[in-house]
Amino acid sequence: MNIVILAAGMGKRMHSALPKVLHPLAGKPLLSHVLDTARTLNPTRLVVVIGHGADAVRAAVGAPDVQFAVQHEQRGTGHALQQALPLLDTRVPTLVLYGDVPLTRAATLKRLADAAGTNGYGVLTVTLDDPTGYGRIVRDAAGQVVRIVEQKDASEAERRIAEINTGIVITPSAPLAGWLAALKNDNAQGEFYLTDVVGQAAAAGHPVVTAQPGDEWETLGVNSKQQLAELERVYQRNVADALLVAGVTLADPARIDVRGTLACGRDVFIDVNCVFEGDVTLADNVTVGPNCVIRNAAIGAGTRVDAYTHIEDAVVGSKAVLGPYARLRPGAKLADEVHVGNFVEVKNANIGVGSKANHLSYVGDADVGAGVNIGAGTITCNYDGANKHRTVIGDRVFVGSDTQLVAPVRVGHGVTIAAGTTVWKDVSDDVLVLNGKTQVEKTGYVRPVKIRK
């Protein structure tokens, strides 16, 4: 089938410079959700009709499998679809989706397509408690769809119809050009309504069928920030449910946000208010404390991530302990059983098996061996104001508190670095290294006293 996504509208009620379909839901533009769902149906042609913010939309979602049709003036949904006509394969049906309706399930669209077959005209409908604002499905005494009437054009009686047009339709493609060309805009909004095509399809002898979504939220669109926020919660609740079904323990399924993919092993526990972005993998028995942010990371089995830990583009081995308040920045690679404690920042660094940096340190552009103890306040001085340099620390090194390692520098295996040492030259294996400093005592010293005015 061809799939056409209508996305030319402005989204005035978003009160934003960003085109409506680019507003993110779960960290991804609304339109990208629709495109990704469309792709699962293997469309012959995938066309997006753009108008408002066309350049921004193109730049954001452009891909080799996507073609764009520009609707310069928004003259209605029928007119929008007309712009895509030259890009369609007329031998297969055309499914029409909306760029601002992000959560429709692929299975629902498949059901609609199956119901319509190759020659039918299919409309995805839903029955609402409050149908206000939507196009109503008008059926005859035999239950056949006769036409769709917009709220603004509907009679009193028609407005009482609770079955509405979701806007998602599938149509044979060969007769479409003729049907769209025949549309008139003599309606309340002066627009060329796609909804008026259904009557022509029926008159031409195409069976008109309807299908319904499994859930109402599948057909909800975004016209305002309230609706965006509501759909974000629907999405997140669905993700949380899937995690629970897969056996993950969530302290509160209402307080987790996944903006990407989160893959979990067995017996994973996630405390409240954690945010996962990009691709995150948590192996078996990982526990994540409250208020952690984890982006593009793989965490090994049995590792404990304590509260307020931030992890980005990092790999962590098994049985490690991170945080509370640890920060792993891009390129941090921690082996098994590494401990990184509070206010320790690790960037572009490898830390070997069993090594510990428990308090207040910066380990950047470094290769740290196994069994190393990094004392509080240790800093790799990796930046000379122009370039970054590496610090290499051997196995079993004891780094005393408040040490500065001025890179580029290499420290051998088994070295002991005294507290407060500035290491600016390479150090051989198994030595004690310290800076010559003297401790002086002076008697008779008088502390200054605050002068009262």
The site partner of 176 among Ca ion, ligand UD1, none (C-beta below 5 to 8 Å per kind) is none
Distance, in Å, from the CA atom of 373 to the CA atom of 416, rounded to the nearest integer, reads 10
Catalytic-labelled residue, pool 23, 79, 310, 359:
359
Per rule CB under 6 A, is residue 213 in the interface with ligand UD1? Answer: no
Toward Ca ion, which CB reaches closer, 172 or 221? 221
Quick one: tokens of 162? 């609770």
Element (H, E) at 143: none
Output the CA torsion sign for 301, 317, 281, 306.
Answer: positive
Pick from 33, 48, 134, 270 the residue near ligand UD1 by CB under 6 A. 134
Task: Determine whether 413 is an active site residue.
Answer: no
The amino acid at 433: V
125 bridge partner residues? 165
Q: What contacts 24+ positions apart, CB below 8 Å, involve 175-178?
A: 175/201, 175/204, 175/206, 176/81, 176/85, 176/88, 176/90, 176/94, 177/82, 177/85
84 binds ligand UD1 (CB under 6 A): no
Q: Using CB positions, name the residue nearest to ligand UD1.
A: 135
Q: Give 353-356 contacts, CB < 8 A, sequence gap 24+.
A: 353/317
193 binds, among Ca ion, ligand UD1, none (CB under 5 to 8 A by kind): ligand UD1
Report if residue 77 touches ligand UD1, rule: CB under 6 A.
yes
80 binds, among Ca ion, ligand UD1, none (CB under 5 to 8 A by kind): ligand UD1
Angle value at C-alpha 111, between 107 and 117, nearest 5 degrees: 140
Q: CB 288 → ligand UD1: shortest distance, Å? A: 37
- Answer for which of 46, 47, 61, 80 binds ligand UD1 (CB under 6 A) is 80
The yes or no reply on residue 375 touching ligand UD1 (CB under 6 A) is no
Phi first, then psi: what are they for 383, rounded to 5°? Answer: -120, 125
Residue from 76, 120, 265, 323 touching ligand UD1 (CB under 6 A): that is 76
From 4-12, 229-237, 341-349, 397-405, give the range in contact with ligand UD1 by CB under 6 A: 4-12
Q: Is 221 in the site for ligand UD1 (CB under 6 A)?
A: yes
**Is residue 7 part of the contact set for ligand UD1 (CB under 6 A)?**
yes
| CB hemisphere CA count around 202 (13 angstroms) | 18
Residue 212 interface partner, choices ligand UD1, Ca ion, none, CB cut-off 5-8 Å depending on type: none
**Joined tokens for residue 204:** 């031409």
Place of tokens 């010293």: 445
Pairing relationship of beta strands 24-25 and 28-29 according to DSSP bridges: antiparallel
Residue choice 23, 33, 45, 79 for contact with ligand UD1 (CB under 6 A):
79
Nearer to ligand UD1, 78 or 289 (CB): 78
Least distance to ligand UD1 from the beta carbon of 184, Å?
Answer: 13
Verify binding: residue 100, ligand UD1, rule CB under 6 A.
Answer: yes
> What does 99 interact with, of ligand UD1, Ca ion, none (CB < 5 to 8 A by kind)?
ligand UD1
Binding track, positions 272-311, relative to ligand UD1; x by CB under 6 A: ----------------------------------------
- For the window 136-175, what string marks contact with ligand UD1 as x by the rule CB under 6 A? ------------x-x-------------xxxx--------
What residues numbered 37-56 form the site for ligand UD1, per CB under 6 A? 49
The counts of H helices and E strands in the chain are: 8, 33
With b meaning 16 or more CB within 10 Å and e meaning fewer, what string describes 406-433? bbbbbbbbbbbbbeebebeeebeeeeeb
Q: Does residue 194 interact with ligand UD1 by CB under 6 A?
A: yes
Is 277:256 a contact under the CB 8 Å cutoff?
Answer: no
Cα separation, 420 vs 408, in Å, equals: 19
Chain residues binding Ca ion by CB under 5 A are 221
Smallest distance from Ca ion to CB 231, Å = 13
Long-range contacts at 262-267 (CB < 8 A, ≥ 24 apart): 265/301
Instruction: For residue 106, give the nearest of 58, 47, 166, 35 by alpha carbon.
Output: 35
List the single partner that 300 binds among Ca ion, ligand UD1, none, CB under 5 to 8 Å by kind.
none
Q: Is the CB of 6 or the CB of 379 nearer to Ca ion?
A: 6
Q: Which residues are catalytic?
A: 359
- What residues line the site for ligand UD1 (CB under 6 A)? 6-9, 49, 71, 74-77, 79-80, 98-100, 134-135, 148, 150, 164-167, 193-195, 221
